[in-house]
Amino acid sequence: MKTKIQSLRDYSNDYHESVVDPEKFWSKIADNFVWKKKWDKVLDWDFETPKVTWFENAELNLTENIFERLLPTHENKTAIIWEPNDSEAAPIHLTYGELFKATCTFANALKAQGVKKGDRVIIYMPMVPEAAVAMLACARIGAVHSVVFAGFSATALADRINDCEAKMVLTSDGNYRGNKNIPVKAVVDEALDTTQFVEKVIVLKRTGEKVEMKKGRDFWWDEALEGQSDRHEAEPMNAEDLLFILYTSGSTGKPKGVVHTTAGYMVFTYYSFLNVFQYDTDDVYWCTADIGWITGHSYIVYGPLLAGATTLMFEGVPTYPHPGRFWEIVEKYKVNQFYTAPTAIRALQVHGTAPLEKFDLSSLKVIGSVGEPINEEAWHWYHENVGKGNCPLVDTWWQTETGGIMISPLAGITPNKPAHASLPLPGVQPIIVDAEGVELTGNNVEGNLCIKYPWPSMIRTTYGDHQRCKDTYFSTYKGMYFTGDGAKRDHDGYLRILGRVDDVINVSGHRMGTAEVENAIDEHPEVIESAVVGYPHEIKGQGIYAFAICDGSDKSPEVLEEEIKQLVRKIIGPIAKPEHVQIVSGLPKTRSGKIMRRILRKVASRDLSNLGDISTLLNPEVVEDIIKGAGLD
């Protein structure tokens, strides 16, 4: 069996084989890799506990499969191209040989600072090659990395440090983002005031701004590297040893640490990268995500490097110093595969096609989308103006928990259908169920999206709380993984993702739990109760709309609204700041005391049609007040 699918017939055959005999299928893919010890059993699982083991008792190190496996042929091939925020500044090209040495040197530095196999290391860094090196160095020594998006607040960072009891934080002095310079180290300092686990902080000099360095705790990156050898013998890891933890929001409580393990994640990210993007040996591939999200983990760092690809990392933002920056980069490096989010497409669409016309995009072969449903208008704009009508557009559906792309066209192989994630990858068995969990077979059906069989890169647990993993993903529908998304299978059998069906809002492709934002709002001393909902937003996909009761406050609603927005920004980060805050006299509640969010969603969407029956509410009178307050009367 070839690893790379080359035709629709290959796809059908491989898909069939992957369902009939998944163990045989995945063992053949896994045979591409070097193993210190082969597995005893490919898969052991039950979705009841839940317990999933791939490649049982095998031993390996993921980085050996990037370096030792590929160096004989890839030593001088560019592994990472780094384009800095400042378009005039020099880029960096790192070959596989150089990346290997950098990884080994940093691995030795981590060990010298006391990091051992199994220790948790937080990476809170800008988009610089050192961030990728840090991830790989952790994997090399068997430390578990947890990358935290550098836009999160000190409180959010502290919560994550405390949850995984991290021993070390890797960060930078500052972080360039467009025309901003974010003082990252200062955020770390503030976070560390409320945590007790971190022993050492290693700080990369990026912006050169003055930072406080605490003696005995904080070390400069260069200082840590001094005298370290660029050779390092990879730590043998069990297939199911933790590779990383990545925190993500859900519909309840604080963000949870999604756990990914070594072998299954390696096999699936490699396989999905090669097939979805149809990467060819000399291609230059660019994914615009941040390494703080799963897309950055799987499709900037691990998948592409395991496939021996040249992967581009961009430090900046799409509109700095001009709205054609993305296209300038495509031209500069002759990018062949370009992978971004619908929110970026919509934001660039606003500038029209003039910024695109200035640059030569003829190198592009494949364009991709991820993170949220792509609306048809954005799909067509992207396809016609960026892809010039002849690049396959891969609309890739997946999640932090799935580790890799689950449902997507394979570029140039699966016929393109606008706004459809289309068909599952081999090894992925999605089903649509109704509210009772009954599978809706056949075409032209719509319901909740579940996965009924394990795949190698699936979530293993939520760090430190296995029950939460079971409750969140495996309890809604017995014997299935529930995605939290709605989906539709059309008359051709192609899948279209309809968005979240739970209390998760997708803002610019970033997941936000309504409960998380409400908890932040409730920290305001004058807020008695709050409710947060999502509403359709032209650029961001969804925006955050908050309703808050602030009885007895002397402050004007305008002052309270602004204070609440700033508070959320401070507690979680700028991405969680509500677009709208409405001070209300009450929240619509059912007789059992549950907030009726359906009504709030209607108000936030400024659409009062089909408001439904409100007579069963405990307090129907507040609905009129809320509608009036929103200026909709």
For the window 477-516, what string marks contact with ligand PRX as x by the rule CB under 6 A? ------xxx-----------x-xx-----x----x-----
b/e map of 250-259 (b: 16 or more CB within 10 Å)? bbeebbbbbb
Decide if 375 contacts 366 (C-beta within 8 A).
no
x-marked contacts with ligand PRX along 108-137 as a string, rule CB under 6 A: ------------------------------
Supply the DSSP string of 436-457, one letter for each residue: T--B--SSSEEEEEEE-S--TT
| Residue 508 beta carbon to ligand PRX: minimum distance, rounded to whole angstroms | 11
Binding mask 416-445 for ligand PRX (x = CB under 6 A): -----x------------------------
Site residues (CB under 6 A) for ligand PRX, limited to 195-254: 248
Residue 203 neighbours by CB under 8 Å, 6+ apart? 171, 172, 173, 185, 211, 213, 218, 219, 220, 221
Contact 140, 122 (CB under 8 A): no
Q: Which residues of 347-379 are buried (b: 16+ CB within 10 A; e: fewer)?
A: bbbeeeeebbeebebeebbbbbbbbbbbbeebb
CB of residue 590 to ligand PRX, shortest distance in Å = 26
- By the rule CB under 6 A, 61 interacts with ligand PRX: no
Task: Name the residue with the smallest CB distance to ligand PRX.
Answer: 400
74 binds ligand PRX (CB under 6 A): no
Centre a 10 Å sphere on the Cβ of residue 18 and count the other Cβ atoms it contains. Answer: 23
Q: Does 295 bind ligand PRX (CB under 6 A)?
A: yes
Contact residue for ligand PRX among 372, 502, 561, 563 (CB under 6 A): 372
Calculate the CA 505 to chain-centre distance.
14
Segment holding 568, helix H or strand E: helix 557-571
Residue 545 — φ and ψ, nearest 5°? -125, 125
371 binds ligand PRX (CB under 6 A): yes
Residue from 58, 267, 370, 391 touching ligand PRX (CB under 6 A): that is 370
Give Cα 156 to chain centroid, integer Å: 16
Q: Does 397 interact with ligand PRX (rule: CB under 6 A)? A: yes
Of 373, 447, 454, 588, the one binding ligand PRX (CB under 6 A) is 373
Helix (H) or strand (E) holding 247: strand 242-248
Residue closer to ligand PRX (CB basis): 79 or 512: 512
CB closer to ligand PRX, 266 vs 550: 266
Question: Binding marks (x or -) toward ligand PRX, 510..549, rule CB under 6 A?
Answer: -x--------------------------------------
> Residue 409 CB, nearest distance to ligand PRX (Å)?
11
Q: Where are the alpha helices (DSSP H) in 165-213?
A: 184-192
Q: 85 vs 506, which CB is nearer to ligand PRX?
A: 506
Give the span between the Cα atoms of 294 and 400, in whole angstroms: 5
Which residues in this chain contact ligand PRX in the complex, by CB under 6 A? 248, 294-295, 369-373, 395-400, 421, 483-485, 497, 499-500, 506, 511
